[in-house]
């Protein structure tokens, strides 16, 4: 093999390695900057409070979601609600009655193995509002 | 010329060794004490990816429940619900891996595939693909109905009450000696034990019953009452 050919090969390998190193370092710095931007987005998320005007009635179950599968014997039921409402939560193994004093409610609720049909009914204090109900199916499965 | 080639060769060797050293440190950090911020970031990234994979696997897990229509070998066809729509699901049970449990008595009892019969109510979990589930777990349970409504009729001769729910369905609840009966105290909001004679038409009732096998959970249906909680009408007119 000629000297020139060997030199060309070696130079090619050298520049190739240098180029790849530059590319690796640039990719790393780019991913780091994206991560920082994401953090900024997460922290700058604005939480808008729900207005309580008195002209409408609020009821929403925020947790758990319907048809969720869990591997624990109880679950926390939480939600948003207008104050002074009567909440009745019923399943085949438990009945709970709550009176909302704040704009949220939360209770720890036991689960039976298998399917748990949880029926939540809310009776607003003001009779001009209709009762509201929600049915959740929560599956407690042992791992 | 030879010297020049030698210098370039040495330089490329040095660069190669540096590059591979950096990569090796990224994968296996020598110890936590000598870990650089880059190492910590890479480890966090690996953990994040692993957690994400685990989450995705959990997301694939779905639960299906319904009444058995037919059983053929290891394939069970059930009639269940997807949201409010009636749907037929196929449950594939691998008996060499899966155990089947009966939980209707409140205790977990292992049963065999041959114990399953049409009209049994079963719950299966596993990855769901196009109405077919490859079961990871299978449970046989009672088919509970948990509803509420207004008592429109009380039959004192055969111990039953007729309830109209908010969706205008009528349920006839058979009250048995084992049915747990409760009343909400309108002053304290506590749940107290009560008797059949204390409930009256117009009261609000929250009930849990077991639907007879094979019956649809809508329309005018008979259920066996497991328990009920009555909210007296006086609570709403006070």
Across chain A, mean pLDDT equals 80
pLDDT digits 0-9 by tens, A58-95: 899 999 999 999 999 999 999 999 988 999 999 999 99
Query: What does the domain layout of chain B look like in residue ranges?
Result: 59-141, 144-233
**pLDDT at residue B230, as a whole number:** 97
Give the sign of the dihedral formed by CA B31, CA B27, CA B24, CA A11: negative
Euclidean distance between CA atoms B17 and B28, whole angstroms: 16
**In Å, how far is B156's CA from the nearest CA of chain A?**
25
Q: How far is CA A30 from the centre of its chain?
A: 28
Q: Name which of B57, B67, B141, B211 to mutate to probe chain A: the one with the most chain A Cβ atoms within 10 A of its Cβ.
A: B141
Using a CB-CB cut-off of 8 Å, the residues of chain B touching A32 are 41
Instruction: Check CB contact of B46 with chain A, cutoff 8 Å.
Output: no
ipTM of the complex: 0.73
Give which of B123, B200, B216, B120 is closest to B156, Cα–Cα. Answer: B200
Cβ separation A121–B236 shorter than 8 A: no
Strand (E) or helix (H) holding A77: strand A74-81
Binding-site residues on chain A for chain B (CB distance < 8 A): 3, 6-7, 10-11, 13-14, 17-18, 20-21, 28, 32, 67, 69, 86, 88, 90-92, 95, 97, 99, 112-115, 117-119, 121, 123, 127, 131, 133, 135, 137, 139, 141-142
pLDDT digits 0-9 by tens, A19-57: 777 877 776 666 554 444 444 333 333 333 333 344 588
Cβ separation B141–A69 shorter than 8 A: no
Each of the 238 residues of chain B gets a pLDDT tens digit; together they read 566 565 565 555 555 555 544 444 444 444 445 667 788 888 888 888 777 765 665 667 899 999 999 999 899 999 988 766 788 999 999 888 788 999 987 788 999 999 999 999 999 999 988 889 999 999 999 999 999 999 999 999 999 999 999 888 899 999 999 999 999 999 999 999 999 999 999 999 999 999 865 555 555 788 999 999 999 999 988 6
**In Å, how far is A7's CA from the nearest CA of chain B?**
6
What is the three-state SS of chain B? CHHHHHHHHHHHHHHHHHHHHHHHHHHCCCCCCCCCHHHHHHHHHHHHHHHHHHHHHHHHEEEEEEEEEEEECCEEEEEEEECCEEEEEEEECCCCCCCEEECCCCCCEEECHHHCCCCCEEEEEEEEECCEEECCEEEEECCEEEEEEEEEEEECCCCEEEEEECCCCEEEEECCCCCEEEEECCCCCCEEECCHHHCCCCCEEEEEEEECCCCCCCCCEEEEEEEEEEECCHHHHC
Confidence band for A128, pLDDT divided at 50, 70 and 90:
confident
Kindly identify which residue of chain B lies nearest to residue A70, measuring between CA atoms.
B58
Mean pLDDT of A107-111: 96
Q: Is A18 helix (H, G, I), strand (E, B) or coil?
A: helix
Give which of B160, B184, B190, B196 is closest to B234, Cα–Cα. Answer: B184
> Residues 6 or more apart from B168 whose CB is under 8 A from it?
none
**pLDDT at residue B171, as a whole number:** 93
Q: What percent of chain A has pLDDT over 70?
A: 79
- What value, to the nearest 5°, has the Cα angle with vertex B98 and ends B95 and B103? 115
Instruction: Check CB contact of B184 with chain A, cutoff 8 Å.
Output: yes
- Of residues B41, B142, B208, nearest to A90 (C-beta): B208
Residues in B 120-179 with any Cβ partner in A closer than 8 A: 123, 125, 137, 139, 141-142, 144-148, 166
CATH class of segment(s) B144-233: mainly beta
**pLDDT at residue B130, as a whole number:** 86
Residues B59-141: name the CATH superfamily. Nucleic acid-binding proteins (2.40.50.140)
Give which of B56, B70, B167 is closest to B116, Cα–Cα. Answer: B70
Please check whether the two domains, B59-141 and B144-233, share a CATH topology. Answer: yes
């Amino acid at each position: 093999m000629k000297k020139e050919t060997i030199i060309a090969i070696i130079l090619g390998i050298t520049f190739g390695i240098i180029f790849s190193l530059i590319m690796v370092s640039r990719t790393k710095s780019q991913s780091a900057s994206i991560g920082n931007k994401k953090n900024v987005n997460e922290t700058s998320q604005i939480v808008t409070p729900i207005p309580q005007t008195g002209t409408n009635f609020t009821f929403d179950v925020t947790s758990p979601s319907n048809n969720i599968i869990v591997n624990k014997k109880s679950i926390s039921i939480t939600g948003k609600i207008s104050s002074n409402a009567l909440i009745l939560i019923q399943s085949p193994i438990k009945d709970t009655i709550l009176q909302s004093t704040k704009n949220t409610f939360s209770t720890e609720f036991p689960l039976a193995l298998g399917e748990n049909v949880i029926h939540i009914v809310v009776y607003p204090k003001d009779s001009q509002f209709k009762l509201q109900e929600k049915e959740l199916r929560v599956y407690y499965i042992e791992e | 010329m030879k010297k020049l080639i030698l210098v370039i060769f040495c330089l490329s060797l040095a660069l190669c060794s540096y590059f591979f050293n950096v990569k090796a440190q990224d994968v296996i950090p020598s110890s936590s004490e000598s870990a650089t911020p880059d190492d910590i970031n890479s480890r966090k990234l690996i953990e994040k990816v692993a957690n994400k994979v685990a989450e995705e696997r959990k997301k694939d897990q779905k639960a299906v429940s319904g009444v058995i229509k037919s059983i053929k070998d290891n394939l069970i066809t059930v009639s269940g619900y997807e949201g409010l729509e009636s749907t037929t699901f196929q449950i594939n049970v691998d008996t060499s891996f899966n155990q089947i449990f009966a939980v209707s008595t409140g205790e977990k009892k292992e049963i065999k595939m041959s114990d399953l019969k049409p009209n049994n109510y079963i719950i299966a979990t596993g990855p769901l693909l196009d109405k077919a589930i490859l079961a990871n777990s299978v449970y046989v349970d009672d088919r509970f109905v948990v509803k509420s409504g207004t008592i429109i009729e009380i039959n004192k001769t055969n111990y039953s009450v007729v309830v109209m729910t908010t969706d205008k369905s009528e349920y006839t609840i058979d009250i048995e000696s084992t049915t747990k009966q409760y009343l909400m105290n309108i002053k304290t909001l506590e749940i107290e034990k009560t008797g059949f004679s204390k409930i009256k038409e117009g009261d609000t009732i929250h009930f849990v019953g077991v639907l007879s096998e094979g019956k649809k959970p809508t329309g005018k249906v008979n259920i066996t009452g497991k328990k009920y909680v009555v909210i007296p009408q006086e609570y709403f007119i006070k």
